[in-house]
Amino acid sequence: MINAKKIEDIAKQITEAIPPGVKNVATDFEAKAKQVLQSKLSQLDVVSREEFDVQTQVLIKTRAKLDEMAAKIAELEEKIDNAE
């Protein structure tokens, strides 16, 4: 769901912004920043683009089937009305 590569890139950018004198704690900071980012992002109510696209296709197919069924019901109701 969450792209781990993007999280790693963000953590790396944060680490690279740290002054050279503090680089010795950068490794710990990067790991902790990555952990916090992953934790917070996993709490968000989001889906990946791939999952969104798949669900969109499912919805399109479902909508087509629903329209088809509605047309069949209308046809059957018409037949019943004409038979009476």
Quote the DSSP letter at residue 76. H
Longest dimension (CA), the chain: 91
pLDDT digits (tens, 9 = 90+) for 14-23: 878 877 777 6
The whole-model pTM stands at 0.47
**What is the number of other CB atoms lying within 10 angstroms of the CB of residue 8?**
14
**At residue 23, what are phi and psi to the nearest 5 degrees?**
-60, -25
What's the residue count for the chain? 84
Mind listing the pLDDT tens digit for each residue in 46-68?
788 899 999 999 999 999 999 99
